[in-house]
Amino acid sequence: MAESDLLNPVDMNGLNTELGHQNKYVMIIPIQDAVGKKFGKNLELNLTRFTIPQIQIGSTSTTFKGYTVEIPTKLINPHSKEITIEYLMDENWNAYRALFAWAASIGLIVSTTSEESAYAVIHGSTNGMAEPDANMFLRCRVWLLNHYKKRILDIAFNDCWISNFSELAMDVTQPGEVRHSFTLKYNNFELLEPTL
């Protein structure tokens, strides 16, 4: 029996009997493009939860000899243009600081506790929102690894920008890993062949 047969067992019908389990998800964000070299070239996040977007193929109805059928229109629409990422915080909180810096590069972070500061944000004064920068849109990728830590799927989200940080409860009575989540808006996504 060949070594490849041991790594990829198949049953008599030619169906792969190895089911997806113990998968690991890693997100790669080219953070240097948005905030410079302070946090390195790429920000690598160990994900605990994310969702591959739903897609829907458009269709139209046509009638032929009294029968109505739906045919595809070759237009594929993602169900949503945003993705929520949950990740494990690193010991020095570099990931949180890098994501915060990315958000700050998109717009100035100001207090909205008073009417005056909220008005400045809404109307874009010099103390409000910054001018959009082309570097704030990044191509973020999620690598899916199997239980041998081999890359099996590469998902690229194009023209991403960070739109939301979740709250982060600081509770010393809850030991264990610190988890945080944020939301990205994107233009489109694509499935790529894993590359080394």
Within a 13 Å sphere around the CA of 119, how many CA atoms are in the beta-carbon half? 3
> Phi and psi (nearest 5°) for 54?
-75, 145
The DSSP element (H or E) to which 98 belongs, if any, is helix 94-106
pLDDT digits (tens, 9 = 90+) for 53-101: 777 788 889 898 889 988 888 777 666 788 899 999 988 999 999 998 8
Over 50: is that where the pLDDT of 4 sits? yes
pLDDT digits (tens, 9 = 90+) for 24-58: 899 999 999 988 888 989 999 999 998 887 777 88
Domain ranges of the chain: 20-192
Rg of the chain over Cα atoms, rounded to whole angstroms, equals: 22
Q: What angle do CA 190, 135, 96 make, to 5 degrees?
A: 85
pTM: 0.71
Which fold would CATH assign to domain 20-192? Pnp Oxidase; Chain A (2.30.110)
Top pLDDT among 138 and 131 is at 138
DSSP-based three-state secondary structure for 179: strand
Whole-number pLDDT of residue 56 = 78
CB-based contacts of 172, cutoff 8 Å, min separation 6: none
Whole-number pLDDT of residue 81 = 86
What DSSP state is assigned to residue 136?
G
Over 70: is that where the pLDDT of 9 sits? no
Q: Which residues of 117-146 are buried (b: 16+ CB within 10 A; e: fewer)?
A: eeebbeeeeeebbeeeeeebbbebbbbbbe
